[in-house]
A and B are shown apart, each in its own frame.
Chain A
């Protein structure tokens, strides 16, 4: 019985609803405890400030006065939490695998790195122009019934559907 519970929590992948309930509860919980909205991508600005504390750019100077903000702690926490999950389930390893992308595409490491780096640039830039990401807009924003977040999320999904299918059919040559 006990082994079964341990197995279900730490080893087996969770069903969608377990994850959804915990992530969803973060929204009211963070308001209740800290009067703060759930959101990750703004923290990337804090992280840039953390790396370049003396950056002269107006946006960084005015928006991120603190070098070591709580948002940096949130980012570090997410990394630690996933690390714990991987270690406890026995799946932790440093790897150059990225699902079927690296299975199908036998690109050299440099080429694959350029691909993922470019997609990262789009994510970072896009999130700032849109004013948030999946957590801040799609989960926090829609949970609060904000019209702007609903519209932005629809555009997130359209962008994702277009790029996934283009990569799938043009770069990888078809079949799932």
Chain B
């Protein structure tokens, strides 16, 4: 399976799941942050546990990758401003009730303000590129 077609396929599975479980619902996300409903927190927690178990087995396989490559796990290092970035992200998450994955699910469901949030995210990414031009430490 080509990587592009493969990711289109897994994207469809991911988007379908996000929508079915309610992760694209503004109310569910903000009620989690308000301490009123922890369904989405439980979705994330279950995903972490299942992902961790799966990775445990993948790492044990002798020749793990389908194409014979060596398993290369990407680890994101903490940089000087990572925590600041994370806090900025969190503020946006609580304001919009969406994150970069679930906003796409909102768009697929026809939520027009999701499209606006998405355009904002593209702009935020572009602003990062502008900042990065002068500040390589970001």
Interface residues of A (CB under 8 A from B): 9, 13-38, 40-41, 43-45, 47-48, 51, 55, 57-60, 68, 70-71, 73-86, 89, 91-102, 112-113, 115-149, 151-153, 155-165, 167-168, 176
Specify the main secondary structure of chain B where it touches its partner.
helix
The CA-CA distance from A13 to B24 in the complex, in Å, is 12
A148 and B77 within 8 A (CB):
yes
Which residues of A lie under 8 Å from residue B102 when comparing CB positions?
Answer: 134
What are 23 A-B pairs at a CB distance below 8 A? A14-B17, A14-B21, A20-B46, A30-B10, A40-B99, A48-B125, A81-B15, A116-B95, A121-B121, A121-B127, A123-B120, A124-B92, A124-B125, A125-B125, A128-B85, A129-B84, A129-B89, A133-B89, A143-B48, A156-B90, A159-B86, A163-B93, A167-B94
Interface residues of B (CB under 8 A from A): 1, 3-27, 30-34, 36, 39-40, 42-55, 57-58, 64-67, 69, 71-79, 81-114, 116-133, 138
B78 in complex: contacting residue of A60, A142, A148, CB < 8 Å: A148
The CA-CA distance from A75 to B8 in the complex, in Å, is 8
Which residues of A lie under 8 Å from residue B122 when comparing CB positions?
Answer: 44, 47-48, 51, 120, 124
Do A13 and B20 contact each other (CB < 8 Å), given the known contacts A24-B46, A99-B25? yes
B73 and A144 within 8 A (CB):
yes
Specify the main secondary structure of chain A where it touches its partner.
helix
Q: Which residue of B lies closest to A38 (CB)?
A: B51
Which residues of B lie under 8 Å from residue A127 when comparing CB positions?
Answer: 85, 89, 100, 121, 124-125
The CA-CA distance from A35 to B98 in the complex, in Å, is 28
B101 in complex: contacting residue of A112, A124, A135, CB < 8 Å: A135
A28 and B51 within 8 A (CB):
yes
Do A155 and B30 contact each other (CB < 8 Å), given the known contacts A82-B105, A160-B93? no
A148 and B94 within 8 A (CB):
no
Q: Which residue of B lies closest to A44 (CB)?
A: B125
A16 and B43 within 8 A (CB):
yes
Do A120 and B108 contact each other (CB < 8 Å), given the known contacts A41-B100, A59-B132, A176-B36? no
Which residues of A lie under 8 Å from residue B19 when comparing CB positions?
Answer: 81-82, 85-86
Apart from A14-B20, A116-B95: 14 A-B pairs, beta carbons within 8 A: A20-B47, A20-B49, A25-B54, A26-B51, A32-B65, A70-B3, A79-B15, A80-B108, A117-B120, A118-B95, A121-B92, A135-B100, A149-B76, A160-B90
